[in-house]
Amino acid sequence: MKTTAVIFDVFGTVISIEDRRNPHLQLLRLGRQQGRWPTADDVKMIMTHELGWEELARCLDIRVSHEQLQHLAEELEAELSSLQVYPDAAQAIALLQSAGVKIGLCSNLASGYGPKVRELLPGLDAYAFSYELGVTKPDPCIYQAVCRDLGVQPGQQLGDERVVMIGDSIRCDRDGARAAGIAGCYLSRAGGGDFSNLIEFAERVLKE
């Protein structure tokens, strides 16, 4: 069965954060200092809305000063400056593209990260980011969105065509993808997953 499209997760899969500052976690910590305990809905808010720092803090009911807002912006910029494409990711994508395979990204992202991800990996066939779509993995809608943009239909194998996804989350990138009709694979760079590097993954995809 020929693979016509491959979907990659972003962080931990194709891009690494070399200088992790966790600015959104810092914002939630400010809330804790004010007696506001973080909830799962906070993470969903961060990942599914395109908001600046001041607006995000207001939506989360966290009081922040001008200096704190500036600090959060600087922390995010430091993280963005440290983003790097994994060497095996660049090689795997090039290998798949040279074989005519369409490439998409599908990730749970806060809005500040999307432009930098597109800058580092330009010209791909589809980008499905949670803050733009308003849903997060493993919601089926996000997989359906990236497949739609790739021109493939998950769960409906047409002839000998199929779509494959890989990422470093069992729940989101393997099981969530499979539930949506995509051949999901788990990447563990430490070993113990379906694959430990993306070159091995790409070569397997092209052989099958």
Give the CATH number for residue 152: 3.40.50.1000
Strand partners, 127: 105
CA-to-CA distance for 131 and 136, rounded, in angstroms?
Answer: 8
Q: State the pLDDT at residue 158.
A: 46
Residue 14's pLDDT band, with cuts at 50, 70 and 90, is: very high
Residue found by looking up tokens 């729940």 in the block: 171
Asked if 152 and 200 sit in the same domain, the reply is yes
Strand partners, 84: 16
Domain containing 123 equals 2-16+85-207
Q: Is the model's pLDDT at 81 over the cut of 80?
A: yes
Q: At what angle do helices 66-81 and 23-33 cross, to 10 degrees?
A: 150
What is the CB neighbour count within 10 angstroms for residue 68?
A: 16
Q: Is the model's pLDDT at 196 over the cut of 50?
A: yes
Q: What pairing do the DSSP bridges indicate for beta strands 15-17 and 83-85?
A: antiparallel
What is the mean pLDDT of the segment spanning 54-68? 97
Q: What pairing do the DSSP bridges indicate for beta strands 2-8 and 183-186?
A: unpaired
Query: Which residue, of 81, 99, 129, is where some domain finishes?
Result: 81
Residue 1's pLDDT band, with cuts at 50, 70 and 90, is: low
Q: Give 155-170 pLDDT, tens digit per residue.
A: 755 455 689 999 999 9
Query: Which residue, of 81, 99, 131, is where some domain finishes?
Result: 81
What is the residue-averaged pLDDT of the chain? Answer: 95
Q: State the pLDDT at residue 208.
A: 80
Strand partners, 108: none
Q: Give 115-168 pLDDT, tens digit per residue.
A: 999 999 999 999 999 999 999 999 999 999 999 999 998 875 545 568 999 999
Q: What is the dihedral of CA 22, 23, 26, 27, to 10 degrees?
A: -140
Asked if 68 and 134 sit in the same domain, the reply is no
Asked if 76 and 91 sit in the same domain, the reply is no
Buried b (16+ CB within 10 A) or exposed e, 101-139: bbbbbbbbbbbbbbebbeebbeebbbbbbbbbbebbbbb
Count of structural domains within the chain: 2
Asked if 34 and 65 sit in the same domain, the reply is yes
What is the mean pLDDT of the segment spanning 57-76? 97
Q: State the pLDDT at residue 156.
A: 52
| pTM: predicted TM-score of the whole model, two decimal places | 0.95
What is the mean pLDDT of the segment spanning 99-111? 97
Asked if 157 and 75 sit in the same domain, the reply is no
